[in-house]
Structure 1
Amino acid sequence: MPGTSRHLLGALCLAAVAGQAVAEVPALSVDTMKNITRELSSDAFEGRAPGSAGEEKTVALLTKEFKAAGLKPGNGDSWVQDVPLVQITAENVSDLKVTGGEDEFSFAYGSDMVVGTYRVTPEIEVKDSEIVFVGYGINAPEKGWNDYAGLDVKGKTVMILVNDPDYETEGLNGPFNGRAMTYYGRWTYKYEEAARQGAAAALIVHDTVPAAYGWNVVESSWSGPQHVADADNGHMDTAKVNGWVQNEVARKILASAGQDLDQLTAAAKKPGFKGVELGLKASVSFDNEIEKQSSRNVVGLLPGSERPDEVVLYTAHWDHLGRCGADESGDDICNGAIDNATGTAALVALAQAHVKAGAPERSILFLAVTAEESGLLGSESYAANPIFPVNKTVGGVNMDAFAMTGPAKDVIVVGKGKSELDDYLERALQAQGRTATTEPTPEKGYYYRSDHFSLAKRGVPMIYFDGGENLVEGGTAAGRAAAEDYTKNRYHGPQDEFDENWDWSGVMQDLKLYYSIGREMADSNEWPNWVEGDEFRAIRDESRAAAK
């Protein structure tokens, strides 16, 4: 909407659309957004790693800001919910040695491969483990697909391709939703299935396009301290080693066994693919520094005036990677300004606005979760141990990384068409004269990469959208170029730092949408659901039936 979007930023939106009233949006503080984002992403917070001094500062800041905004403690009389974690830091990592083929290789940690473990044990060793190429590493009985069929990989090392077999499909039709990634394409699933199959080690072959990020992201995310949820069994039911190998490393390994990566990849895309035992052996070892920690979710509550036991959620993760691989200047702090100091600041700005508007009919819970970067551990902990039962949770919105690209004519909806919350967003967008766009890169699997997923898989409708790419100034070409630049040059690296020259106008435009969606849910009698046929619909129906 050229020429008008900037004027919308200062307007109050009150429109009747499809018989529903879009809530009047009170003033939202850009100063709050700037100040909290700046502080959270400063070097003093050391990248906000769970269990660090940066966590202490983050929890203290959010508690102070939630209290100042007028919220109540969200967990009884406490502002926090404990999230038991274990920090595991791999040390003295050996080279990955591959023997038995035409050549013998020794691949270096960091530049060639990264490895780690979920096992809470001081030492890890995989020695002379037979290597098996298992394609995409998928076992999906409902789809008649099993890459492990006829294989015994117990104690062996499996090499796995990232994403789904049909990720290169142009449309969304295919055995694994075509271009759109399913959970079978996520690295988390690959490791889970390898463990179920009894593998000693699981190595994913990195490829920038299907992974959706470069090797620099893998290296920075997987080196240094890693976190897992604390568990009675110490996660000893997982593979000893989980890791990644560079694409060229995989090519060399396969060539040594007389195989070609491209040919095997093409074969693995087709039903009936059979895994290939390579006749090679892998060895790698490392020590683990283990520290048990209790990280925390920060929770603030705006109690409802009429139905306080029914709750609407706002979620955002406060954590980032802490100290990571240093850049050329020697900077080794991954500050996480965009990801996700911006979303955390939004929780405070929205809390301020909702309090000023007065108590809604239902309660609103503002949930800043920990350990998203470690595998959605904070949101998973909340969803498994909710302060408000999931069958009394109306729905919610998740905020993860605001785009500093200026006003846009659209927003990018991740998982568009899954739930009735799309209608809430549509009403808010129409009040701004904007549109909802389906994510342009569904093959990247963003739906499974942020905290809404922990609640969605338990039936709670959650909406998640990003800033639009169809910019008022520059259109889609400029928007996509900006998104690609962030992913390539700042995402999960030391360069994701606060910039005093950022254009916040588009952020504030989007923040009004988040306000409107949450307020409509909180002042409504409706219980939004997943659309018919969605994977989470039956879970929600069963949950709500139990509540009634």
Structure 2
Amino acid sequence: MQIRQFIFPLITSTILLAGCSQTNNNMPASNFDSVYQNISTQDLKQHTKVLSSDEFEGRSPTSPGETKTLDYLISNFKALGYQPGNGNSYLQAVELMEITADPDMTLRIGQNQFKYRDDMVASSKRENSQINLTDSEVVFVGYGVNAPEYDWNDYAGLDVKGKTVVILVNDPGFENPESGKFQGKTMTYYGRWSYKFEEASRQGAEAAIIVHETAPASYGWSVVANSWSGPQYSLASDNGNADRVAVEGWISLDAANKVFKDAGLDFAQQKALAMQGPYSTPLQLKAAVTIKSKLQKSVSNNVIATLPGSERADEHILYTAHWDHLGKDESRVGDQIYNGAHDNATGTAASLVMAKAFAGLTVRPQRSITFLVVTAEEQGLLGSQFYAEHPIIPLNKTVANINMDAMNVLGKTKDVAVVGMGKSELETNLEMAAKKQGRHLTQEDRPEAGYYYRSDHFSFAKLGVPALYAEGGSEPFDEETAAYRKRTNVVITGCYHQVCDQFRESWDFSGVQQDTQMLFDVGYQIANSSDWPKWLKTSEFQRK
């Protein structure tokens, strides 16, 4: 079926104008309850199906798939009565530098030669057509962390200028949770790969190579190989990213074992030392790699749409989701499209369905409701980073951010997983909305994966805007859901950033509906309050 056949039934459906009800003494009488109940699995499912279809070619930034995605989003927001969020435009241009490394490369460390994608991946954010790393001294810098608040600095006393640093993934608390170091199993930002490359750059290193291990990374080597090969994007910069390390890369655990053995060391023993406290040691090896890249400046777009508030229109509740995925890989045999149905057609669909709900209220929320659907999340949160650094709505007028990414297609749950639990007062609003559904709040299953630092809300959190990311938990609603969940979870987990992340008619969207209703309720509460949610004292973030 052609895409044009999908678009208009959803956006022209009648918006309910049901009778008024009083949902809270502090909120205006409206048809909130009926609108809430009419957030439908059918709408969520249909939007997801369209956005993840082959017609959209995996929604890669700057591709024909982007054009189709933007048209789809804008036509829906416009039909719902949302105003352009950027002056007279629904778009915010994001200048990107597309850098595609030639896969014909080999990384040499000591006597070992490592093959691209099989053993290593490497690229450069510098805007140079060729990067030559030649006979660069290799230094193991443990976790590559410089964290004064944790009294930890793996770079203490080191001069790594011009050198190659080899870094462990995650942070020191992960495999030593009883040590009291960092936050135990819960990953901090110091455990994220993005931080490690940033810190290596600040230290003046020429190359930074992360050792991949599945458990502390929370994903397998295939995710690294797929995500770091092909076109890579960064925000275009005035200095051509000259302040970044020249080479950013990963090596597999097998490759790391060979490197340390060549250095006369045992990787596991060196890792154990790095877990105990700040640690570094020279490997007495040299690294070399040549990266040839095709450079192309391009422009992608964030989509921003606003429903003005009835009383304090200059104050905004900002919902975010990312529309992009990994696009199309024409070098693959067979299926070439990374459809990104779960990640993140579901979150984008939730944005549109939630926008419909807010538009259907007979009494407008007091504060404005704005939907920001961003580009280039898969390339390192670039679209949300660009917006946060160039905000259309001043950050001091952005009351809260609520993010939706990879929604729950595993059926209804009794609990709500709060990603990065204990961050802000938004969790109080969330608890109220969850209780209305007979649910309770829990911490996410795998805090060691650092999901709070892996989606678009983080771009706002680190600049001080209270940001919430919550999703369906792990307690199935009933036995039937439990059986379905067990079957489907295998597929969902195995298809992360793979071509098999495709829409399936068998998916149960009741969990997506449940969470969309809940987050709609959270935003409604805050939009009709005069309060400004605050960060909790246990959080590392504060309003700027």
Say if 2:48 is the partner of 1:37.
yes
**Cα 1:299–1:261 shift into 2, 3 Å:** same
- For 2:400, what is the secondary structure of its paired residue? strand
Q: CA deviation at 1:396?
A: 2.2
Aligned to 1:243: 249
Which of 452, 456, 462 is residue 457 of structure 1 equivalent to? 462
Say if 2:93 is the partner of 1:82.
yes
Q: CA deviation at 1:478?
A: 6.2
Within-5 A mapping of 1:228-307:
228-273=234-279, 275-307=280-312
Larger CA deviation: 85-94 vs 156-165: 85-94
- For 1:129, what is the secondary structure of its paired residue? strand
Which of 515, 521, 542 is residue 516 of structure 1 equivalent to? 521
Aligned to 2:345: 341
Aligned to 1:8: none
**Cα 1:412–1:482 shift into 2, 3 Å:** farther
**Cα 1:132–1:13 shift into 2, 3 Å:** farther
Structure 2 distance, partners of 1:488, 1:360, is 38
Assess if the C-alpha contact under 8 Å between 1:26 and 1:357 holds in 2. Answer: no
Gaps of 5+ in 2: 1-18
Q: CA deviation at 1:440?
A: 1.9
| 2:181 partner amino acid | P
Assess if the C-alpha contact under 8 Å between 1:469 and 1:478 holds in 2. Answer: no
Say if 2:224 is the partner of 1:213.
no
Once the two structures are superposed, what CA deviation does each residue of 1:104-134 show, in whole Å capped at 9, x if it has no partner?
2211000110001110111111011111111
Within-5 A mapping of 1:24-103:
24=33, 25-99=36-110
- For 2:303, what is the secondary structure of its paired residue? strand
**Cα 1:256–1:264 shift into 2, 3 Å:** same
After TM superposition, the score normalised by the length of structure 1 is: 0.91
Q: CA deviation at 1:399?
A: 0.2
Assess if the C-alpha contact under 8 Å between 1:317 and 1:340 holds in 2. Answer: yes
Within-5 A mapping of 1:111-260:
111-170=118-177, 174-260=180-266
Aligned to 2:115: 108
Q: CA deviation at 1:323?
A: 2.1
Gaps of 5+ in 1: 1-11, 544-548
After TM superposition, the score normalised by the length of structure 2 is: 0.91
Q: CA deviation at 1:69?
A: 1.6
Say if 2:400 is the partner of 1:388.
no
- For 2:127, what is the secondary structure of its paired residue? coil
How many equivalent residue pairs? Answer: 522
Assess if the C-alpha contact under 8 Å between 1:410 and 1:436 holds in 2. Answer: yes
Assess if the C-alpha contact under 8 Å between 2:414 and 2:473 holds in 1. Answer: yes
Assess if the C-alpha contact under 8 Å between 1:130 and 1:279 holds in 2. Answer: yes
Q: CA deviation at 1:93?
A: 3.4
| 1:417 partner amino acid | G
Q: CA deviation at 1:281?
A: 1.0
Q: CA deviation at 1:253?
A: 0.7
Within-5 A mapping of 1:342-361:
342-358=346-362, 359-361=364-366
Aligned Cα root-mean-square deviation (Å): 2.3
Once the two structures are superposed, what CA deviation does each residue of 1:177-226 show, in whole Å capped at 9, x if it has no partner?
11111111100011011111111111100000000000010001000001
Once the two structures are superposed, what CA deviation does each residue of 1:85-115 show, in whole Å capped at 9, x if it has no partner?
111000153211122xxxx221100011000
Which of 392, 395, 418 is residue 413 of structure 1 equivalent to? 418
- For 2:325, what is the secondary structure of its paired residue? coil
| 1:130 partner amino acid | E
Structure 2 distance, partners of 1:307, 1:15, is 21
Which of 332, 336, 339 is residue 336 of structure 2 equivalent to? 332
**Cα 1:411–1:326 shift into 2, 3 Å:** farther
Assess if the C-alpha contact under 8 Å between 2:166 and 2:208 holds in 1. Answer: yes
Structure 2 distance, partners of 1:187, 1:210, is 11
Q: CA deviation at 1:289?
A: 0.7
Q: CA deviation at 1:477?
A: 7.6
Q: CA deviation at 1:175?
A: 2.6
Q: CA deviation at 1:395?
A: 0.6
- For 2:302, what is the secondary structure of its paired residue? strand
